[in-house]
Structure 1
Amino acid sequence: MKFFFVLNGKKLKQLSIIIVAAFFTAGILFVERNEIMVFSTSDGPQAFYKAKTDEKVLSLSFNISWGDQRAIPILDILKDKDVQATFFLSGSWAERHPEIVERIVEDGHEIGNHGYQYEKYPSWDDEKIKKDIRRGDQVLSELTRKKPTLLRPPHGQFDKRVLSIADKLDYSITHWSVNSYDWQNPGVDKIVEGTLESADKGDVILLHASDSAKQTHKALPIIVDRLKGKGYKFVTVSELIASTTTKSEEIK
């Protein structure tokens, strides 16, 4: 009986090791907000979401896909606070609001591609994804006279296939490491507290400048002032990538 127990114990241990190894090889990653599960491979493409650095630097990133009432107040705050940020714009929105795009450029902010339509890429075939990225690229390039190099897919949803397509179109996908949840309109205090509790060196903070985010412009000056009070400096996402060792997630 003792021999039988030991033998099965060894088999059980071996089986456990195999299961654990398979789990970590898959590298399960949970993408914030959208709750999609993706898997990594050792040689797969990567999405940037945080920089590994000892310097107190981080990036504010804003998504815009709808409306024209929230963007200007946010731009006014950033200008008043002397903060540079990165704005991910959907092409269809940019076409409707070229004057706001011009203001973003004039204020020295970085612009990234947020696709053309605000639809979920993983549900589309390859050609449709390529067409949407290219259309967004064309609109933003014409309006800003500069080709964007960063892509944040609509809804933040992507997989290895989307990463591969983006890479072939000379884009780097940028996610985020701190979600302010401002899109839920949970209250100014909760947006501020949640962001400040999570923010750390090298983080990319997700915020929104669409009209659906009704409290961001009230929370933003508090967030900026308190982070500055802690010694943080704000840089664009591209500056964060260029000046530090990037931290990325491998996606399948």
Structure 2
Amino acid sequence: MKIYVLAKKSVVKVISVFILLSVSILYTSTMSNNTLDVFSNKKELPIYYVDTPEKKIAISFDAAWGTEYTEDILNTLDKYKVKTTFFLVDFWVKKHPDVLKKIDKKGHEIGNHSTNHPEMSKLSKEEIIKEIKTTEESIEKVIGKKTTLFRPPFGDYNDNLINTCRELGYHVIQWDVDSLDWKEKGAQSVVDTVTRNVKNGSIVLFHNNAKYVSEYLPLVIEKLQAEGYKIVPISELIYKDNYDVDVDGKQIKKQTKK
């Protein structure tokens, strides 16, 4: 009798294990795509930097408040024969159209930085479109050129933003080197931060109204040029089509089949 009971318990145990395994396999095979996406690398990413063998980089300026140092910036860029990209917010454009005209006339690239400087990931698709198109139209009215690069305020984005920008014909641009000029720790701090972290294909973030920009900008450019870097506008650095962006935000040119 005792042997029979033990045998019965063993059978029950085997059956229980079999049932658990079956349920597990069934659950795994029928998991929704949304659940599986949590463990995938399907998240959309903006361009942080570019994979290139050339010693070529881009520096950029976000302009949302003030123009106090913009003349100094433009004079420095002229002095070192550098062209760059300025990302502008709509209310800045409306307040300083003459400055926008001057930036454009000097051959610098104009990017879109939204209308009201919001956290873009919190907006609906319709709100994102309005933020981008309003600024696009304001810039086009002043200089007659359509923007094609978008930098989200605060570097805040999600899949909805990336996909919407793609539909609108925009490349979403981040940065891999933050100058941290907004911390106002002095010119040398910015010079060190940028020159120690820059590499081929880097995109550097500056702000047009940073307190020490008139001091640090010539020092940064001199050092980068001495190290052999060519500084170009972002649109001359990135690939416009036939590319991937890896999990680190590096834009990689797809290899064409021969």
TM-score, normalised by the number of residues in structure 1 = 0.79
Match status 1:233 vs 2:230: yes
Superposed CA deviations along residues 30-59 of structure 1, whole A, max 9, x for unmatched, are xxxxxxxxx840xx5441121111111100
Name the aligned partner's letter for residue 226 of structure 1. Answer: K
Q: Percent of pairs identical after alignment? A: 30
Structure-2 separation of matches of 1:118 and 1:45: 21
Aligned to 1:214: 211
Superposed CA deviations along residues 128-169 of structure 1, whole A, max 9, x for unmatched, are 221111101111111121111000011221111111111111
Match status 1:170 vs 2:169: yes
Aligned to 2:53: 54
Aligned to 1:78: 77
Match status 1:153 vs 2:144: no
Spell out the pairing of 1:5-24 with structure 2 (5 A cutoff): none
Q: Secondary structure at the match of 1:186?
A: coil
Shift in alpha-carbon separation, 1:136–1:250, aligned structure 2, 3 A: farther
Shift in alpha-carbon separation, 1:242–1:164, aligned structure 2, 3 A: closer
Q: Secondary structure at the match of 2:72?
A: helix
Shift in alpha-carbon separation, 1:207–1:245, aligned structure 2, 3 A: farther
- 1:126 CA drift (Å): 2.2
Contact map agreement 1:51 1:247 (CA 8 A) in 2: no
Match status 1:93 vs 2:59: no
Shift in alpha-carbon separation, 1:83–1:26, aligned structure 2, 3 A: farther
Structure-1 separation of matches of 2:151 and 2:57: 17
- 1:246 CA drift (Å): 6.2
* Unaligned residue ranges in structure 1 (runs of 5+): 1-24, 28-38
Structure-1 separation of matches of 2:198 and 2:239: 20
- 1:186 CA drift (Å): 1.5
Structure-2 separation of matches of 1:227 and 1:247: 27
Structure-2 separation of matches of 1:147 and 1:242: 18
Shift in alpha-carbon separation, 1:65–1:54, aligned structure 2, 3 A: same
Aligned to 2:116: 117
Structure-2 separation of matches of 1:150 and 1:234: 17
Structure-1 separation of matches of 2:243 and 2:203: 11
Contact map agreement 2:44 2:158 (CA 8 A) in 1: no
User: Which structure has the bigger radius of gyration?
Assistant: 2
Q: Secondary structure at the match of 1:47?
A: coil
Superposed CA deviations along residues 177-218 of structure 1, whole A, max 9, x for unmatched, are 1110011111111110011000111100011103xx101221
Contact map agreement 1:52 1:245 (CA 8 A) in 2: no
Higher-RCO chain (CA-CA 8 Å, sequence separation at least 6): 1
Aligned to 1:195: 194
Structure-2 separation of matches of 1:91 and 1:240: 25
Superposed CA deviations along residues 87-115 of structure 1, whole A, max 9, x for unmatched, are 10111101110111011111101111001
Q: Secondary structure at the match of 1:48?
A: coil
Structure-2 separation of matches of 1:58 and 1:244: 19
Spell out the pairing of 1:123-138 with structure 2 (5 A cutoff): 123-138=122-137
Q: Secondary structure at the match of 2:86?
A: strand
Matched residue count: 213
Higher strand proportion (structure 1 or 2): 1
Superposed CA deviations along residues 64-85 of structure 1, whole A, max 9, x for unmatched, are 0011202111111101111000
Q: Which runs of 4+ in 1 moved over 2 A?
A: 242-251
Structure-2 separation of matches of 1:229 and 1:245: 33
- 1:124 CA drift (Å): 2.1
